[in-house]
Each structure stands twice: as C-alpha cells, then as structure tokens.
Chain A
Amino acid sequence: DTEVTQTPKHLVMGMTNKKSLKCEQHMGHRAMYWYKQKAKKPPELMFVYSYEKLSINESVPSRFSPECPNSSLLNLHLHALQPEDSALYLCASSQEQVGYTFGSGTRLTVV
C-alpha cells in the first residue's frame, strides 16, 4: 500500500460545528503532516507529527486541533472555524526525506 487516504473528500460545515478530518497511511512512515492549500497558492505546512508526537505547529489557531492516535492515523479536529478557513486540507507522510506522499485532500467549505 503506497497511498495516503483522506476522508471525507468534501466537507461543508457551519461556524459553530465540530468536525474531524481523517488521514491514514500503511507505509510505515514515521512522520505525518497536515498542510493547507488555498486556491492558486502552494501548500502551507500546519503541523508535523514525528513518531506520534507533535513536533511542529506552524502557529496554527487553536480552532484546529491535531491528533495522532497511532503511527498510521492522523486526525485534524475542527471547531468554530471561519469562512476564511475554507481550503483544501492535505495530509502527507514520509520516512525521512524520501517517500513524501500526499493524500488527495479534503475540500473544506465553512459557511
């Protein structure tokens, strides 16, 4: 299995909702990432987990809360988001510098 699987593919949520994005990989990669991509912009790093521990938080607002339940799973919990948080959220995994693989993303719309 050489894929990173993200669910759901699309999500529409209100500003008072709580939702979660899920990411799964079975490549044995020890680093997992959340990126955010707005239209016509490059992906921007949000969080890095290394060996199931949060190692980088790129000053992301607390309304985004990451969680790594085990080495294969990565969640992003969303609460009280703003319309400007609407974007494509990408999960990725890697083993050191090689094999850096992205999922197909979750298209999030906040209404």
Chain B
Amino acid sequence: DQQVKQNSPSLSVQEGRISILNCDYTNSMFDYFLWYKKYPAEGPTFLISISSIKDKNEDGRFTVFLNKSAKHLSLHIVPSQPGDSAVYFCAASMSGGSNYKLTFGKGTLLTVNP
C-alpha cells in the first residue's frame, strides 16, 4: 500500500513560470514532510520541509503548503529556472522514538524549458 503518492510522473513548465508539484498521503500519523530534488546517479538533495503544526513554509523560491484535512501537500517553485529540472520526491515521517524512517513518493520529473 503506497502511503505517499505523487500522481504526476512528470511536469513541464516554461522558465519564469510557477511549478506546482503535488503529493498526497494516507497515513494520518505522518507529522513531518520533506521535499527532495534528485539528479540521476546522485543522492537526494534536501529542499524544504514542513511540520504538521504549520500550513506553509517558505524558503526563497520554494514554498511548501500543507493541507492536513485533505492529507495533501504541494511544492511551489517561483520563478522556475532550467536548473530546477530534476526528479522531485515528496517524503513523510512520523515522530516517536529515535528513528525517523522516510517514506517516499514515486517522484515527479520536472522539466523547465528555456
């Protein structure tokens, strides 16, 4: 059972426009969410995170929105740049104990066209 879902395998946007990547989750115990950017044959690079006590977190061009009632989060990139082209993974974890397993979505390939 897939607990973190990214239903769009790919997204293409024009440079300068907004990119919106979506993520849904089913496990209500998840209370911390992260977005990672990944290039082929490299490790995931952390972008931005959000705790379940917030509904928005912003860092430069990246903003993550969390809708707990809908179990939905989204990553907004404004303005999009060609260097943003990569696979974006949504991940979730739950607090408690000292281990924080990340459950990943399948990823969305973002292509930003010049």
Contact = CB atoms under 8 A, between A and B. Distances in A.
A40 B105 CA distance: 11
A48 B102 CA distance: 11
Contacts, number: 65
What is the predominant secondary structure among interface residues of chain B facing chain A?
A: loop
Interface residues of A, number: 30
A43 B98 contact: no
A7 interface: no
Contact of A100 (B42, B46, B107): B46
A43 B100 contact: no
A6 to B, nearest CB: 8
B38 to A, nearest CB: 9
B71 to A, nearest CB: 18
7 contacts: A41-B106, A55-B98, A92-B102, A96-B95, A102-B44, A103-B43, A107-B41
